[in-house]
Amino acid sequence: MAEIINACAWDGAWYARSFDDDGMPIGVSGAAHNAIDLIPQNWSVMGETAPRERAEQAIRSADEKLDTAFGLTLMWPSYDGLDPRVCGTSTFVPGAKENGGIFCHANTWSIVAAAMLGHGDQAYRYYRQILPLARTDSDV
């Protein structure tokens, strides 16, 4: 399975999210929406699917494209209208829910993936970004 994933889903700087019914990738560079998705980057590390160099690059790409002061978003850029290839994801407003929202469980996977790669400071930064007690901006 890892061999197939690395042969078909690696996009040069991160892993594709999925493939649609026609076999076209979702979550790849150059796409107008969902060019990168957080979940496959985390799981490529946690599932020990990615070779070390790709694992490092996938997490670096997620950090560069998805990190915010409030945690990592699920994807970037968000959909701005219905896309029949992904249906439900694209029905939410940009930045909400699966359409680029920030989910604590996906961020905890980022913490684990960073820690597995030996990036303790990065893992701790991700932890602090989603930790409610670390925030003073309760209106946000």
DSSP 50: S
Q: pLDDT for 103-127, tens place per residue? A: 999 999 999 999 999 999 999 999 9
Residue 134: both structure tokens together: 């670390």
Q: pLDDT for 37-85, tens place per residue? A: 999 999 999 999 999 999 999 999 999 999 999 999 999 999 999 999 9
Neighbours of 98 (CB within 10 A): 19
How far, in Å, CA of 39 to CA of 81, rounded?
A: 22
- The domains of the chain are located at 2-77+104-132
pLDDT at residue 75, as a whole number? 97
pLDDT at residue 17, as a whole number? 96
Cβ 68 vs Cβ 107: under 8 Å: no
How far, in Å, CA of 35 to CA of 77, rounded?
A: 6
Binning pLDDT at 50, 70 and 90, where does residue 135 land? confident
pLDDT at residue 132, as a whole number? 86
How far, in Å, CA of 97 to CA of 102, rounded?
A: 7
